[in-house]
Amino acid sequence: DIQMTQSPSSLSASVGDRIVTITCRASRDISGFLNWYQQKRGKAPQLLIFASSRLRSGVPSRFSASGSGTDFTLTISSPQPEDFGTYYCQQSYSTPYTFGPGTIVDV
């Protein structure tokens, strides 16, 4: 199985911050088959980014992502209060699909 790791495990951001960055690493090359989700407490995860860098329709443009191979990054530019939650990366290169452990973002 492909193992996913994320860093940091948690971070605190302020509305005045310019950028928040979360890193995700796969245990082997997954090309660009990497997705990002946001989960708020008591809710189901929601898709933000698919195929490494494609923003899902309706997701604010302050979210962006990049990466290929084993290293990926999710960036939130000028984070807003509603961006709090836990962010997960997930590889879809091969089954079993696996998720990172999550990064808790406190805005």
Q: Is 64 in the site for another protein (CB under 8 A)?
A: no
Query: Which CB sits closer to another protein, 28 or 54?
Result: 54
Query: Which CB sits closer to another protein, 79 or 100?
Result: 100
Distance CA 84, CA 77 (A): 13
| 85-91 and 103-106 strand pairing | antiparallel
Instruction: Copy the structure tokens of residue 82.
Output: 């509603």
Q: Is 102 in the site for another protein (CB under 8 A)?
A: yes
Among all chains, which residue has been given the structure tokens 């990926």? 72
Stretch that binds another protein, among 13-21, 42-50, 59-67, 71-79 (CB under 8 A): 42-50
Q: Is 41 in the site for another protein (CB under 8 A)?
A: no
Instruction: Copy the structure tokens of residue 86.
Output: 């836990």
Q: Which strand (E) or helix (H) includes residue 72?
A: strand 71-77
Applying CB under 8 A, which residues contact another protein?
A: 1, 31-33, 35, 37, 43-47, 50-51, 54, 56, 88, 90, 92, 95-102
